[in-house]
Amino acid sequence: MKRVAVVGAGAMGSVYGALLSRVADVVLLDVNREHVEAIRRDGLALELPEGGAEVFEVSAASEPFGLGTFDLVLVFVKSYSTAEVAPLLRDLLGEGGFAMSLQNGMGNAEIVASVVGDERVICGTTTFGATYLGPGRVRLAGRGRTRFGPWSKGLSPSSLGWVEDLMREAGLEPEVVEDPRVLLWEKLFVNAAINPLTALLAVENGMVASEEHLRAVARSLVAEAVAVARAEGYHFDEERAFEEVLEVARRTGKNRSSMLQDVLFGRRTEIGAINGQVVERGSRVGVPTPVNAAVVELIRFVEKGYGRICLDLR
């Protein structure tokens, strides 16, 4: 049986760990000691979208010591913590093992690869939905797909066959792609438009599609991101990318973005891995990104506790 570690067992990490525990020996690793202790004591309770709940007996730890090595290490920490946990991965990975990032934003795979090597990194995206309910309790808010591929362009997707099989057996609907950077850009276009606008204005996702003023700003954010992607050699269609943003905003119309939730509860956001990556990469390739730069600075301001509005949304 394969051994799998999940580094960052928040909402999504717990969902993946629970489902994978059906087919693998899984250890959840998280700094939230209350969550870890509840899982150890009572198991991990997963509320299901079709109703009811299932309790999974899965190992959990708050320290990375004495856990042994793993065939697959899933990284689900917030993007701003990736550099902090990356050194742990070297010790957790067994011979021939892979580190897999399904995190938000861009830049995470590069950080992990700088520690364990390009050829040992898998990255991609997930469209599963998850909500952390409290210690030992998470909700599977919606089922989706897990799309991923090898970070090293010299590594064949076929070498990830066993990872794909494991994900399929766990019900995580895998799809292996040749270049996962395409997936990261596609998701970033959506997040770069919806997340900062909803967080700054304390509105639900649907407003980005329904309000002409927000649509105009969202279009500019996407246009800059697409221009940067093109400069890096990824030729996306700007109009199609923007239409996908609107479709996601409509489909999740009543949802609060993760960045809005972070702002409302005074937590640090992942702006640096989303719009911040557009700005940073644009600077490297000579593409101006003034609108993305503006929202980064505004979110940084809000993160300091200023300008928080509509707190009744709590």
The answer to whether 2 touches 21, Cβ cutoff 8 Å, is: no
Question: What is the chain's Cα-based Rg?
Answer: 19
Catalytic residue among 2, 78, 153, 187: 187
* Residue 301, helix vs strand vs coil: helix
CB neighbour list of residue 192: distance below 8 Å, 6 or more residues apart: 221, 222, 225, 274, 275, 278, 292
Q: Which two tokens stand for residue 202?
A: 């304390």
Give yes or no for a contact between 129 and 257, defined as CB atoms under 8 angstroms apart.
no
Residue 187 annotated in active site: yes
86 three-class SS: helix
Question: Residue 192 — φ and ψ, nearest 5°?
Answer: -65, -25
Distance CA 60, CA 40 (A): 6
101 vs 108: CA distance, rounded Å: 7
The span from the CA of 311 to the CA of 33, in Å, is: 28
| DSSP SS3 for 38 | helix
**124, 242, 36: which is closest to 28 by C-alpha?**
36
Using CA atoms, how far apart are residues 122 and 21, in angstroms rounded to an integer? Answer: 20
- State the sign of the Cα–Cα–Cα–Cα dihedral 158, 163, 169, 175: negative
Quick one: which of 303, 297, 305 has its CA closest to 269? 303
Which residues are annotated as catalytic? 187
